[in-house]
Chains A and B, each alone.
Chain A
Amino acid sequence: MTSDTAWDAPLASVVEEAGIGVWRWDPATNTVEWDQRTEQLYGLEPGTFDGTMEAYLGMIHPDDVDDALELIQSVAATGGLYSIRHRIVWPDGAVRWIEGQGRIDVEPDGTPVRGLGIVYDVTERATLEHERDELRLREAAAVRASVESRDALDFLIRAADALAGSLNTSRVIERLAQVLTSGPADIAVVDVRLDEPIGWIATCTRNAANHAQAIHSGPASLMAGAAARLAVADTGADVADTADLLAVDAPELGKALAGVDAAAVDIVHEPLVSRGTTIGSLVAVRLVAPWSTEERSLLRAVARRAAVALNHALLYRDQSAVAAVFQRSMSPGDLPEIPGLDLGVLYRPATELVRLGGDLYDVFPSGRGSWTMAVGDVCGKGVHAAGHAGLTRAALRAAVQATSRADEALEVLNRTLLADSSRPMLTAVVASLGGCDSDGSRRVEVYCAGHPSPLVVRRDGLVEALEARGTMLGYADDAGFEGVATTLQPGDALVLFSDGVIDCRRGKDFFGVERLSEALSPVAGSSAEVMTSAVGAAMDAWTAEAPRDDIVLLAARVVDAA
């Protein structure tokens, strides 16, 4: 991918780390441009992709190529966003799963103008899903085979239910120990040592009433004593031996083992194997009756299911770690502490699962005791828009600090966006808050770029709109911005917000500026947090509909001089 602007660099590095490839399609020449990562994902040497659609289609798995082509053609006809998942065949014959998201822009007459998108490898996930489905089938078969044993069936269902819930590794390990001792085992030890940070051992015993009790669980390094010995116990004598040690470590376990007849103890080891790798082991101990053949096969079924659940949890852990890094690099983070100003923000992305969206906010110093506050709204939603929002925030900061004027900064940003057609348009409002005057007041100057006008909430409850005019950014090169200024007295607050607030829906009605003002007026003079909460509460009381658009509302109140 060619780099058009300086601020492509941070995005490129994040994209690179996440293993994401980027491509563009130019319909005029019908050429496709891939970055090196995309070539790598397709098993190609850098620079060897020839840019033709035919070459791309030729790499798709024969069973998937028709569906892929049909999808691409239909999107190319209408334009819009699409996501795709198919297998590919590498030059060396290896089959991989590729997932991608793309966008094709078309003229009103249907002529495609450009296409761009990202791709990444999902082979592990797809394989895992396949394994899980297989396991379900096998589990279903096992369920049928043991139908005469009501207890076994109940137990298996319970175990499957129990292991299906959490995606947290230590919770899965603990749950496995718990579910075994609520079923056939007297003691269960689950020992997972994939790598040091997640080495985790859980043990559980059951009491006379057949209830699982007393889970002892912790990082493997801290459980190195008795529990670790239990985990590798091979004979009843080993188990009985551990009793004294456990009496200190884990009294309930110790009690369960006290006076045990070592000869009667039966131990089953089941490895927890996933994708060909042993990631840990499950030890199920019977203190009196030995394990029957059926019970042993039941334990194997549970161990297989547990290994899959653990693998999902590990995968989730890794993916959420990547997502968290991405989120930190893209999201605005905590508001600064500013003497004399009290800040609060309401930030509710429309996507329910990820706390990222196309709305952005920022507060940063802009020299000589003054501060800049900004709220922006990048066209689009979700992670894709969030990437642009994060970069836009950084670019706006740089532009304000370089020009030291909000209107000039907006012009710089406008030119930057126009220079790169892959950047979505955006609306923004920027406020420059002057330093504190001797009477505690602060002067504020506001510039808008196609964005809803900010509100001033006077201490006495009066709410005024600051109607600054200006065009949307990235739309036309003759953008002009007309500022509006006012003075904030102590107790007054400035409220910037995105259109997600006023466009919040209830059937055909919109929340609107009037309701927003009505929500703010009674909390005039209160802390910024109280104000943002009051707006959130007013919106939720007004409508039960889930928000369709990202929502951000940023409030700054001038604090009374002490």
Chain B
Amino acid sequence: MPPDIGPELVVEYADRAGAADEAAAWAIVDDLLAGGLSTTLVFRDLLSAAQALVGQRWQRRDWTVQQEHAATAVTSRIIDRIAAQGPATVPHRGKVLVTVAEGEWHRVAAAMVSHALRLDGWEVEPVPPGTRPGQVASAIHESGPLAVLVSCALPALLPGARRLVVTAQDAGTPCLVGGRAFGSSDRRARRIGADGWASDIVTAAEVVAAHAGFAGPSERLEHASASDYSVVRGELGRLTAALQEVLPQGRDESGNGVLELALWLARSLLAALLCDDRSILDEDVGWVASRIGPAAVTELLAALHDGLPERAPIAREFVAGAA
């Protein structure tokens, strides 16, 4: 009977990783693997769960940026170690490209998926964060993968995932998505036009097997808020300038940049419009409120609302509703 991973173990692992104690963190992983737990389950139930916890702790400011970075660095190295230890597999199922949404730099999930797919017999070509979509297109044409996988952790970056969906499909290749940003159903994935959605690392291999092949060309998004998405995206420069005009530039006494937070909410609004899912904006508004207080948020949302064009009624409604 393989060992079970309970929430206490996840907390224990996250604490050790956050303290940059790689040896101690590895000891937990090593025990689980030695006890017969599969690599993908360790990825899903320990490492992914711990990364989610790390993100929450950072958001709630229970942890410093340093601790968050330390934990992520330890987990990255542990994934590499697991990959190096695993059996050498000969790819026999074709090639897939694994990358992250444009603007996304959380690469731990992509690293885990890559390794899980290699174990499953796929040849994985990794594309690092920061690669422009045009260069992803070149990579697709040059190596001809059977699928492109895009991972996204932050919901506000879903428009960056949409760009890669279009890039892949227009190059005749299915685009499959996964990651925390997509939530717990396939709804957001469908809204951005992805060919498939993996709910977690264990199902990723199944999703790839089911969808690998051909796709495209990409289709226009038809849902009502998608037109507001295009309008606001086109006006983002003007919206930025308007917010820069009315909001204070620097930071308050607890280190919060009001303008920074407002511009982040503008991106979050775009993601909400793209996915026709206002909970994306609501969640980020809640997080901002926890940092600067409800009064300041109301003011900030008013500025955002004022900066939106008349031609985007759903966007205005989303922002008004979040206040």
| Residues of chain A whose beta carbon lies under 8 Å from any beta carbon of chain B | 161-162, 164-168, 170-171, 174-175, 178, 215, 316, 320, 346, 348, 352-353, 355, 461, 506-509, 522-523, 526-527, 530, 533-534, 536-537, 540-542, 544-546
Contacts and interface: CB of A to CB of B under 8 A. Distances in A.
B312 interface: no
Interface in B291-309: none
Contacts of A509: 244
B160 to A, nearest CB: 9
Given A165-B169, A540-B105, 4 more contacts: A166-B172, A168-B144, A507-B237, A508-B241
Contacts of A346: 130
A162 B130 contact: no
A507 B171 contact: no
A171 B146 CA distance: 9
Interface in B125-146: 129-130, 132-135, 137-138, 140-144
Nearest to B249: A509
Given A320-B142, A355-B135, A165 B217 contact: yes
B173 interface: yes
Interface in B16-70: 64-66, 69-70
A316 B103 CA distance: 28
Contacts of A523: 66, 69
B132 A162 contact: no
Contacts of B138: 320, 353
A311 to B, nearest CB: 14
Contact of B173 (A165, A178, A534): A165
B111 interface: no
Interface residues of B, number: 41
Contacts of A541: 103, 264
Given A352-B135, A540-B105, A175 B214 contact: yes
B213 A178 contact: yes
A171 B172 contact: yes
A166 B237 contact: no
A546 B102 CA distance: 11
Contact of A533 (B64, B129, B172, B244): B129
Interface string B225-252: 0000000000011001100100000000
A526 B107 CA distance: 16
A506 B172 contact: no
A70 B297 CA distance: 57
B170 interface: yes
A533 B72 CA distance: 12
Contacts of A546: 132
A185 to B, nearest CB: 16
B207 to A, nearest CB: 19
Contacts of A353: 134-135, 137-138
